[in-house]
Amino acid sequence: APQPARCRATTTCPYCGVGCGVAVELEQDQDSVRIVSLSGDVAHPANHGRLCVKGSALAETLSADGRLTMPQVRDEAGVLREVSWETALDLIAARFADLSRTHGGESIAAYLSGQLLTEDYYVANKLFKGFIGTPHLDTNSRLCMASAVVAHKRAFGADAVPCSYEDLERAELVVLVGSNLAWNHPVLFQRLKQARIDNPLLRIVVIDPRVTDSCEIADLYLGLRPGSDARLFNGLLAYMADRGRLDRLYLKAHTQGFDAALKAARREDCSLAAIARDCDVDVERLETFYYWFATQLHVVTLFSQGVNQSTSGTDKGNAIINCHLAGGKLGLPGAGPFSITGQPNAMGGREVGGLANQLAAHMDYETPGARELVGEFWNAPNIPQGPGHKAVELFAAIERGEIQALWIMATNPAVSLPDSTRVRAALAACPLVIVSECMADSDTLAYADVVLPASSWSEKDGTVTNSERCISRQRGLLAPPGEARHDWWQLAEVGKRMGYQAAFGYSGPHAIFREHARLSGFRNVAPRHKAGSKPLAASSIRRLFNIAPLAELDREGYDALRPIQWPVRRGEKGELIGTLRLFEDATFNTPNGRARLVPVTPQLPHQALSDATPLRLNTGRIRDQWHTMTRTARSARLMNHRAEPFVELHPQDAAARGLQDGALAQLAGRDEQGSVRGDYRARVRISHGQRQGEVFIPMHWNDHFASHGRAGALLAGLVDPFSGQPESKHGAVDVMPL
Ligand code: SF4
């Protein structure tokens, strides 16, 4: 018999925003292709061959068991029945056309995911915003980094992450704020750990209410009071000013707003003792952190969901950025504020406009000329007038009956959104819910009127952008099972059935990517900075994001694309050149080219503690699971890390409730009327790393893996007023013996 052929290929891990390269060995015979081995891609700049346990377990989650393989439509008896693609797509297109006629395009919405590839996101954004004419397209990335996006825009004039991962290796001080890097971005943690070995002078500070595994490499730990981050960084700004540690030349030449930001910081007592009291940290440790930050130039501050998932997450992000701008610690090797995203393609979604407040290609609705420019480029008839509903608002609009049809792709909002019981009720009441999903155990399928089987990792083909702006190929290596199809294809087929054949007649992901890249450079000219506050025009706003040279890639060039950081330009020999670091020339995307320091008034969490809910609830990821576990729970190795939901409690909080380590406990919150919100049941883990008065629970468990493990049901849907990001780190609950 002929021997199976073997070949190698590279792709990208789908499990977090580090975006590690993965090398796979494939075996092909007459009937099928299989992945026979998998390792880190040594040539990928994100990981240089490393993988964490989730990435290395990818091949263990690829079985066809549990996959959705046929389109389904719910019949009049409420039963999902298998149908052909023709039937499902015709039904969606007809219902969308009908709703557009009777209720307007704004009655239709989409809720997407940072799991989608950039090509999927691009087609969705174009279909909904350009042709259906609704601005109501948002994404679960809203739960992840939306506050950092707004903070970037306020400070830099554009949603731009200045740093690269290699800055961690070139820094003198790395500060982790609200980031358990060891669990949530493990390969970056490995890089940082190695950097510390290679450079004994590198110092690491961890700022987090919980003692986490990231503290293993910390020189200094500040276990601050939850929500006091802005007070801490406002205090740092005042400390730098008081100790003569500002970069006056940088402030004068390249920024605006310093005086107002400092004045806002000084509205509260900025003595070390007062800040230490308000943040509930040791005053000597506080002073050490301030001294280290103020006296080092090469400082990277990594911030993540602990900062973003807050009703004042945007302000917290700006309080951090203010300190970097005040010290000129930006645009240099080993320096800058560095937002680390949770999802593999949170950044790619932002690039195409996959947030409700964006239009396309990093342009907002408010960007002068953006609607006309995008309308012309797409030849689109229906560009909305202004922003749509952000995630939490979107489900409230469904509850009110304003949204009549919702297309959910690659996410499980029935578990992952805050106040998820209310989200479920909204989904149940929505006249048309379409769910594109690869796994059969997504809880949201229970609310679907139409189920579309989607391709998954190793089948999907396209690009993702990681936390350091690096565009990488995620390659389609295996055939999707049964009738599963790519998300972009599903969207394009509906677009064509609605009469827009020319706009959606893509021959493959390479064609979509080329169009996306062309839009980034369409009528794009160098920005003209001038005095005043008039926003930069659409024709110049995309300077930072320009990837137009990638529009010249043919299919082979796209297939062979190596990781590259935007913005991208051509070198003298025609080679593609990415950009390691932004703002090296200290010119920003604001009207006058200056970065903005933003006055920040610290706020405490909005979910109030009470006699009935005296404990502060912190929700987050664990090391070996991803999102709502629909894929990672399929690996026994990954399940071994934490086999069931748990609640971490300080010993005194446990003792006060008669709870011992390993006991079963129940958590509940309260809604505005005082009624019980949520019912989370889990085993107690007593932890000395937990602050007294605070509890931690994992966010992953869905109804298929634990009957009472839904963390989101405990949280109120309170959001940051600028970013719309929910306050998932600051719930209010009580814990009782079960
Ligand atoms: Fe995948 Fe993130 Fe682990 Fe890298 S660090 S292997 S991207 S989960």
Q: Is the pLDDT of residue 732 over 90?
A: yes
- In which band, very low, low, confident or very high, does the pLDDT at 62 lie, cut at 50, 70 and 90? confident
State whether 117 and 134 are in the same domain. yes
Q: How far does residue 460's CA lie from ligand 1's centre (Å)?
A: 18
The per-residue pLDDT for 463 is 98
> What b/e readout covers 320-346, taking b as 16+ CB neighbours within 10 angstroms?
bbbbbbbbbbbbbbbbbbbbbbbbbbb
Mean pLDDT of 30-48: 94
Span of 206-215, 347-356, 388-397 with lowest mean pLDDT: 347-356
> What b/e readout covers 501-526, taking b as 16+ CB neighbours within 10 angstroms?
eebbebebbbebbbbbbbbbbbebee
Return the ligand 1 atom nearest residue 188 CA: 5
Beta strands per DSSP E along 287-429: 299-303, 336-339, 358-360, 363-364, 405-409
The token pair that represents 473 in the structure block: 């190929």
How far is it, in rounded angstroms, from Cα 213 to Cα 285? 19
CB-CB contact of 431 with 401 (8 Å):
no
Does residue 585 lie in a domain region?
no
Q: Which of 457, 353, 441 is nearest to 123 (CA)?
A: 353
The per-residue pLDDT for 68 is 97
CB-CB contact of 178 with 148 (8 Å):
no
Instruction: Give burial (CB, 10 Å; 0-12/13-18/19+) of 651.
Output: middle
Nearest CA to ligand 1 atom 2: 16
Does residue 514 lie in a domain region?
no
Q: Is the pLDDT of residue 254 over 80?
A: yes
The per-residue pLDDT for 605 is 94
The per-residue pLDDT for 538 is 65
How far is it, in rounded angstroms, from Cα 477 to Cα 33? 8
How far is it, in rounded angstroms, from Cα 284 to Cα 22? 44
For a mutational test of ligand 1's pocket, the pick from 52, 58, 190, 632, i.e. the residue with the most ligand atoms closer than 8 A to its C-beta, is 52
For residue 682, what is the enclosing H or E element?
Answer: strand 676-686
Q: How many domains does the chain have?
A: 4
State whether 124 and 177 are in the same domain. no
Q: Does 187 contact ligand 1 (Cβ within 6 A)?
A: yes
Query: Could you tell me which residues are beta bridge partners of residue 734?
Result: 668
CB-CB contact of 135 with 384 (8 Å):
yes
pTM for the complete prediction? 0.96
Does residue 595 lie in a domain region?
no
Does residue 622 lie in a domain region?
yes
Does residue 257 lie in a domain region?
yes
By percentage, how much of the chain surpasses pLDDT 70? 97
Q: Is the pLDDT of residue 728 over 80?
A: yes
CB-CB contact of 449 with 440 (8 Å):
no
The per-residue pLDDT for 532 is 67
What are φ and ψ of residue 465, in 5° steps?
A: -125, 125
Q: What CATH number does the domain containing 688 carry?
A: 2.40.40.20
Among all chains, which residue has been given the structure tokens 């977090």? 16
CB-CB contact of 16 with 165 (8 Å):
no
Q: How far does residue 498's CA lie from ligand 1's centre (Å)?
A: 39
The per-residue pLDDT for 684 is 97
Q: What CATH number does the domain containing 92 carry?
A: 3.40.50.740
Amino acid at residue number 172: E
Q: Give per-residue pLDDT as tens, 409-421.
A: 999 999 999 999 9
Q: Does 55 contact ligand 1 (Cβ within 6 A)?
A: yes
Q: Is the pLDDT of residue 5 over 90?
A: no
- Of 475, 503, 531, the residue that ends a domain is 503
The per-residue pLDDT for 331 is 96
State whether 427 and 485 are in the same domain. yes
The per-residue pLDDT for 31 is 80
Q: How far does residue 567's CA lie from ligand 1's centre (Å)?
A: 24
Estimate the share of the chain in helix, then strand, then coil, as percent rounded to the nearest 5: 35, 20, 45
Nearest CA to ligand 1 atom 3: 52
The per-residue pLDDT for 337 is 98
CB-CB contact of 616 with 693 (8 Å):
yes
Q: Is the pLDDT of residue 489 over 70?
A: yes
Q: Does 51 contact ligand 1 (Cβ within 6 A)?
A: yes
How far is it, in rounded angstroms, from Cα 715 to Cα 712? 5
- In which band, very low, low, confident or very high, does the pLDDT at 628 lie, cut at 50, 70 and 90? confident
> What b/e readout covers 391-416, taking b as 16+ CB neighbours within 10 angstroms?
bbbbbbbbbeeebbbbbbbbbbbbbb
Return the ligand 1 atom nearest residue 15 CA: 8
- In which band, very low, low, confident or very high, does the pLDDT at 735 lie, cut at 50, 70 and 90? very high
Helix residue ranges, H only, 346-416: 346-352, 370-378, 391-399, 413-416
What are φ and ψ of residue 276, in 5° steps?
A: -60, -40
The bridge status of strand 731-737 relative to strand 664-670 is antiparallel
State whether 119 and 250 are in the same domain. no
- In which band, very low, low, confident or very high, does the pLDDT at 435 lie, cut at 50, 70 and 90? very high
Q: What CATH number does the domain containing 56 carry?
A: 3.30.200.210
Q: Which of 46, 4, 1, 3 is nearest to 22 (CA)?
A: 46
Does residue 107 lie in a domain region?
yes
Amino acid at residue number 693: G
Q: Which of 686, 682, 621 is nearest to 650 (CA)?
A: 686
Span of 176-180, 440-444, 529-533 with lowest mean pLDDT: 529-533
Q: Which residue has the higher pLDDT, 173 or 628?
A: 173
For residue 656, what is the enclosing H or E element?
Answer: helix 651-656
Does residue 129 lie in a domain region?
yes
**Which residue range forms the structural domain that includes residue 420?**
72-140+345-503
Amino acid at residue number 300: V
State whether 365 and 227 are in the same domain. no
ipTM of the complex: 1.00
Mean pLDDT of 29-53: 94
In sequence order, the 6+-apart residues with CB closer than 8 A to the CB of 419 are 392, 677, 712, 713, 715, 716, 717
Q: Is the pLDDT of residue 703 over 90?
A: no
State whether 155 and 286 are in the same domain. yes
Span of 201-205, 360-364, 465-469, 653-657 with lowest mean pLDDT: 360-364
State whether 317 and 384 are in the same domain. no
Does residue 598 lie in a domain region?
no
Q: Is the pLDDT of residue 424 over 90?
A: yes
State whether 150 and 274 are in the same domain. yes
State whether 158 and 219 are in the same domain. yes
CB-CB contact of 674 with 93 (8 Å):
no
Mean pLDDT of 265-272: 98
Q: Is the pLDDT of residue 503 over 80?
A: yes
Span of 155-164, 436-445, 526-535, 632-641 with lowest mean pLDDT: 526-535
Mean pLDDT of 227-239: 98
Q: Does 16 contact ligand 1 (Cβ within 6 A)?
A: yes
How far is it, in rounded angstroms, from Cα 510 to Cα 514? 6
Return the ligand 1 atom nearest residue 53 CA: 3
Q: Is the pLDDT of residue 527 over 70?
A: no
How far is it, in rounded angstroms, from Cα 197 to Cα 636? 33
State whether 407 and 384 are in the same domain. yes
The token pair that represents 80 in the structure block: 């999902």
How far is it, in rounded angstroms, from Cα 269 to Cα 246? 20
Q: How far does residue 56's CA lie from ligand 1's centre (Å)?
A: 9
The token pair that represents 542 in the structure block: 């995309």
How far is it, in rounded angstroms, from Cα 165 to Cα 422? 39
Span of 6-10, 62-66, 289-293, 573-577 with lowest mean pLDDT: 62-66
State whether 88 and 131 are in the same domain. yes
In sequence order, the 6+-apart residues with CB closer than 8 A to the CB of 121 are 112, 139, 345, 348, 349, 352, 354
Return the ligand 1 atom nearest residue 466 CA: 7
Mean pLDDT of 688-698: 96
State whether 378 and 492 are in the same domain. yes
- Of 339, 357, 375, the residue that ends a domain is 339
- Of 503, 523, 551, the residue that ends a domain is 503
How far is it, in rounded angstroms, from Cα 474 to Cα 461? 6
Q: Give per-residue pLDDT as tens, 153-201.
A: 999 999 999 999 999 999 999 999 999 999 999 999 999 999 999 999 9
Amino acid at residue number 564: I
- Mean of pLDDT over the chain: 94
